[in-house]
Structure 1
Amino acid sequence: MTNSIETLPTPRHTDPADAPPLRWGILAPGVIANDFVDALRAHTRQQVVAVGSRTLERAAAFAARHGFERAYGSYEELVADPDVDVVYVASPHSEHAAHAHLVIAAGKHVLIEKPMAVTAAEARGIAEAARAAGVFAMEAMWTRYLPQTDIARQLLADGMLGEVKVVTADFGGAAAYDPAGRLWAPALAGGALLDIGVYVVSWASFALGAPESVIATGELAPTGVDAQVALVLTSPGGGQALLSTSLLSGTPSLGSISGTAGRIETDSPFWGPSGIRFHGSGGTVLHWADPFGRPYRQGMSYEAAALARYVTDGLTDSPLHPLDEAITTLQTIDEARRQVGYRSAAGGAQ
Structure 2
Amino acid sequence: MTVYWGIIGAGKIAESQMAPAIATASGHELVAVSRRTLDAAQQFAVRHGAQRAYDSVEALLKDDQVSAVYVATPPHLHARETVLAAEAGKHVLCEKPMARTTGEAREMIDACRAGGVMLTICHYQRFNARHQRIRRLLEEGAIGQVTAARINFSDRFPPQPGVWHHDPRISGGGPVMDLGIHCIDLLRFLCGPAESVSALVETLVDSSPVADTATLLMRLANGTQAVVTSHWTTANHEPERANGLEIWGTKGSIAAAPISAKDSAGTLRVLTEYGMQDYLVEPGGPRPHVALLDAFGDAVAGESPNPIPGEDGLAGLAVVEAAYESARRGQRVEVQ
TM range (shorter): 0.7 to 0.9
CA distance in 1, matches of 2:79, 2:86: 11
Would you say the 8 A contact 1:174–1:247 is kept in 2?
Answer: yes
Deviation at 1:271, TM superposition (A): 5.6
Q: Structure 1: which 5+ residue stretches go unaligned?
A: 1-19, 343-350
Q: Is the 8 A contact 1:265 1:278 kept in 2?
A: yes
CA contact (8 A) 2:159 2:208 kept: no
Distance 1:327 1:169 in 2: 20
Report the Cα distance in structure 2 between the residues aligned to 1:197 and 1:143, rounded to whole angstroms: 12
Residue in 1 that maps onto 2:247: 257
Distance 2:24 2:89 in 1: 28
**Structure 1 segment 223-238 matched on structure 2, within 5 A:** 223-238=208-223
Residue of structure 2 in register with 1:80 after alignment: 62
CA distance in structure 2 between the aligned counterparts of 1:151 and 1:81, rounded to whole angstroms: 39
Corresponding residue for residue 135 of structure 1: 117
1:179-237 CA-partner distances (Å, limit 9, x unpaired)? 76312112212411111111111122223322221111032253331211011001233
In the alignment, the residues of structure 2 paired with residue 264 and residue 177 of structure 1 have an alpha-carbon distance, to the nearest angstrom, of: 35
Distance 2:305 2:112 in 1: 8
State the AA in 2 paired with 1:284: G
Instruction: Confirm whether residue 183 of structure 1 aligns to residue 145 of structure 2.
Output: no
Change beyond 3 A, Cα 1:249–1:179: same
Q: Structure 2: any 5+ residue segments left out of the alignment? A: 237-241, 330-336
> Cα distance, 1:276 vs. partner?
4.7
What one-letter code is carried by the residue in structure 1 that aligns with 2:292?
Answer: E
- CA distance, structure 2, for counterparts of residue 223 and residue 311 of structure 1: 41
Using the TM superposition, give the Cα deviation of residue 291 of structure 1 relative to its aligned residue in structure 2, in angstroms: 4.6
Measure, in 2, the Cα distance between the counterparts of 1:44 and 1:227.
40
Cα offsets for 1:143-183 (capped at 9, x unmatched): 11222222112112222222111111011111132376312
Identical pairs, percent: 29
C-alpha root-mean-square deviation of aligned residues, in Å?
Answer: 2.2
Can you list the C-alpha shifts for 1:263-312, whole angstroms capped at 9, x where unaligned? 221122356412453434324222222257148xx532221222112112
Q: Any residues of structure 2 matched to 1:144-293 within 5 Å, and which?
A: 144-178=126-160, 181-189=163-171, 190-220=173-203, 221-251=206-236, 252-270=242-260, 272=262, 273-291=264-282, 293=284
Residue equivalent to 2:3: 22
Cα distance in 2 for residues equivalent to 1:284 and 1:89: 45
The offset of 1:110, in angstroms, is 0.5
Contact 1:160-1:262 within 8 A present in 2 as well: yes
- C-alpha distance in 2 between matches for 1:237 and 1:167: 12
Contact kept in structure 2, 1:266 and 1:274, CA below 8 Å = no
Q: 1:70 aligns with which of 49, 52, 56?
A: 52
Number of corresponding residues? 319
Structure with larger RCO (C-alpha < 8 A, sep 6+): 1
Indicate yes or no: 2:103 matched with 1:121. yes
Task: State the secondary structure of the residue aligned to 1:248.
Answer: coil
C-alpha distance in 2 between matches for 1:294 and 1:80: 37
Normalised by the length of structure 2, the TM-score is 0.87
Which runs of at least 4 in structure 1 moved beyond 6 Å after TM superposition? none
